[in-house]
A and B are shown apart, each in its own frame.
Chain A
């Protein structure tokens, strides 16, 4: 299992880096998340300027919103890379490389293979996220100010990261198991779930501005707890009511408890679901089914 994990991670790294010139790849790792974040920065400035009135020269959008979305975006990079990296590995290895069946009949743990692929994406996203934050701190005074004024809560951050890694891996395996039994529509499922999470988990849209029903969905999705915990560890609890989520009253232990409980429950579900899904895909010949997606 350890062997499979190690080599699938290596494979994921190789496929992602596409065997290009390492310098070019480093550039890609930095630029990809950075451009995504800069888009948000532009949105922030546009919203801030649009909401400026003579009576309220600061605008309706608080200054703390920029570091808030910047951190959310960096964290969401991890969600995407780990969770959707795994389901994308199913699709790319089955449809594009046609290697999935070959991996399936090798003496390797199939589930571990996907975990490794997800991890390699996660490590790249982590590096990208850190670089992204560093650049943000250097360039934007709002972000610099946010990090300067608050001392990062490292102990809680170290609790949230392994918990989040476990949660995202489990969610990724559930999604990979689902995609295993789907053809081309598997891509849409991944993208759809990514979209729902982006909208409802408080990545860039504060939960306070979401409609009630969407807030409920956000509360059901465990990545919401993780994002809230990481963001609070880095930036502290936001004072502006707009940035306060439905979890604003929860303490760190409560957040960790909710995160741990949902991770364990999902872990148990994933254990049975992925096994069932793998057997079903095997029985129906879906491991090798290509649809030209």
Chain B
């Protein structure tokens, strides 16, 4: 088995009495592009800081490329590129000077240094500002200079905290394309609040909420998970409601009477696959009229809201089939 590029095991971090990270464990394989999600204060940044050796963990184990972040921080630092959310740069330096300084500090050999600087200038599309003073750059350019710095030493692992923060839509698209290209050659751990970005480029998502690991899986698995059905059936409301509850695998039913004898049913089923035709046949067989039948596969925003809300307010969001208090939730990305 290949050695994981990132390994986190039972990680805990306390800030005094506050438990920021609580027993988080995950592994990231070499070349994987993983989205790290979670609300503000969930523990994402703390986890990233521990991985970058910026902060020590209170307990547990974390390693990068097989090197313990606590015992071998210098080896870890040689192998990571970290882009913080707010990129610090010496404002009096010119972009190229700053990158040259960072390249030297990171120990890039003289023979390849300039070529590498040229490469990241090109790759991050900052060639046009290379002679500009860093202090005069817009937030978008600063962010891209930060990304260029991250890539300078061609590190095995890239840890990117909000890499598209402050970029315009075109720059976001370009930056995401760059990050996607980096996957495979580099292991990328990407933290962001923009779910559509993660959906667009990540294969795997880790959701951290209230310091604990709330979800870890591949986005492709979501498509195979239960779908969300929405039906409008004209028929006796009570019988319609009883019928849907009697269906195998149906969970989280939400019924709403639209008008007399017209009921809206929203539910999920734990049995994979598309059951629309089956439901349509049954409704027709009972002599009811089907006005709407829609299946929406669960997407990342659904998962995110479900996981985060379920943990933040368990009483509001029970996963019990008998519980009908399913809040209507939109799939709008944040």
Contact = CB atoms under 8 A, between A and B. Distances in A.
B52 A105 contact: yes
Contacts of B52: 105
A283 interface: yes
Contacts of B80: 105
Given A105-B77, A106-B77, A282-B55, A14 B105 contact: no
Nearest to B104: A7
Interface string A96-138: 0111011111111000000000000000000000000000000
A18 interface: yes
**Interface size band for B:** 20 to 34
Nearest to B91: A97
Contacts of A103: 105
Interface in B64-113: 74, 77-78, 80, 82, 84, 86, 88-93, 97, 101-102, 104-107
A213 interface: no
A11 B101 contact: yes
A288 interface: yes
B321 to A, nearest CB: 45
**Interface size band for A:** 20 to 34
A243 to B, nearest CB: 43
B166 interface: no
Interface in A1-35: 3-4, 6-7, 10-11, 14-15, 18-19
A7 B105 CA distance: 7
From B55, B82, B84, B93, name the one whose CB has the most chain A CB atoms within 10 angstroms: B55
Interface in B112-139: 133
A287 interface: yes
Contacts of A62: none
B101 A7 contact: yes
B54 A288 contact: yes
Say whether chain B's binding surface is mostly helix, strand, loop, or mixed: loop
Nearest to A3: B107
B106 A97 contact: no
Contacts of A288: 54
B54 A107 contact: no
Interface string B284-318: 00000000000000000000000000000000000
From B88, B92, B104, name the one whose CB has the most chain A CB atoms within 10 angstroms: B88
Interface in A171-192: none
B53 interface: yes
A98 B101 contact: no
Given A98-B88, A102-B88, A106-B77, A282 B56 contact: yes
Contacts of A99: 88-90
Contact of A105 (B54, B56, B86): B54
A97 B105 contact: no
A108 B105 contact: yes
A285 interface: yes
Nearest to B55: A285
B82 A105 contact: yes
A14 B88 contact: no
Nearest to A6: B104
A181 to B, nearest CB: 15
Contact of B78 (A98, A101, A107, A283): A107
Given A15-B90, A19-B92, A98-B88, A105 B105 contact: no
Given A97-B90, A99-B88, A283 B56 contact: yes
Nearest to A8: B105
B101 A10 contact: yes
A107 B93 contact: no
A220 B92 CA distance: 41
B105 A104 contact: no
Contact of A107 (B74, B84, B86, B92): B74
A18 B135 CA distance: 12
A210 to B, nearest CB: 42
A99 to B, nearest CB: 5
A4 B92 contact: no
Contacts of A98: 86, 88
Contacts of A6: 104
Contacts of A105: 52-54, 77, 80, 82
A6 to B, nearest CB: 8
B58 to A, nearest CB: 10
A106 B76 CA distance: 9
Nearest to B97: A14
From B55, B101, B105, name the one whose CB has the most chain A CB atoms within 10 angstroms: B105
Nearest to A288: B54
A7 to B, nearest CB: 5
29 contacts: A3-B105, A3-B107, A4-B105, A6-B104, A7-B104, A11-B101, A14-B90, A15-B90, A15-B92, A18-B92, A19-B92, A19-B133, A97-B88, A98-B86, A99-B88, A99-B90, A102-B88, A103-B105, A105-B53, A105-B54, A106-B77, A106-B105, A106-B106, A107-B77, A107-B105, A107-B106, A107-B107, A285-B55, A288-B54
Given A19-B92, A102-B88, 7 more contacts: A3-B107, A97-B90, A97-B91, A99-B88, A105-B52, A105-B80, A107-B105
Q: Which 7 A-B pairs have the closest CB atoms?
A: A98-B88, A107-B77, A107-B78, A19-B92, A7-B104, A99-B88, A105-B52
